[in-house]
Amino acid sequence: MSDDIEGVRSADGGSGSGPAPLRAPLTAAAIADRVRLALDAADLDQMAALLSPDVHWGAPDDPTPPCRNRTQVLRWYAAARAEGRRAAVTEVEIHGNALLVGLRLHDGHERWQVLRVGPDGVNDIRGYEDRPSALEKLPR
């Protein structure tokens, strides 16, 4: 694992021996299956390989999201997992340079994320309460 995410390990404590390394430039189509696998497994090493170093994650239209780099995003995932939060991926759809990811949370609620993908990986993640709101933010 790279130095910029030192101290953040996969949920099973493993070394993240997953699929072969990705090569830039990345596309939404190229990483869709890996996003599903990484999220379903809560594997932070696999997630790290998919995230741009300067990825942002926050609420829709938030100009200053709380997570503004790979390390912050991975720490959020690690903290959520440590608190017992779990989610299963229900869908991953490719929309140009973006992915629509459906999640079913451990409490039964559903959430959606829009992941925008640039040449060096996922560079923006926004969370939505409902699918129609997420769909509105996808490229047409």
Structural domain boundaries in the chain: 24-136
- Contact status, residue 82 vs residue 8, Cβ threshold 8 Å: no
The model carries a pTM of 0.85
**Strands 121-128 vs 51-58: parallel, antiparallel or unpaired:** parallel
Q: How far is 57 from 77, CA to CA, in rounded Å?
A: 11
| Structure-model confidence comparison of residues 137 and 21, the more confident one | 137
CATH number of the domain at 24-136, out of 3.10.450.50, 1.10.3720.10, 3.30.230.70, 3.40.50.2300?
Answer: 3.10.450.50
pLDDT digits (tens, 9 = 90+) for 1-28: 333 333 343 344 444 455 667 888 999 9
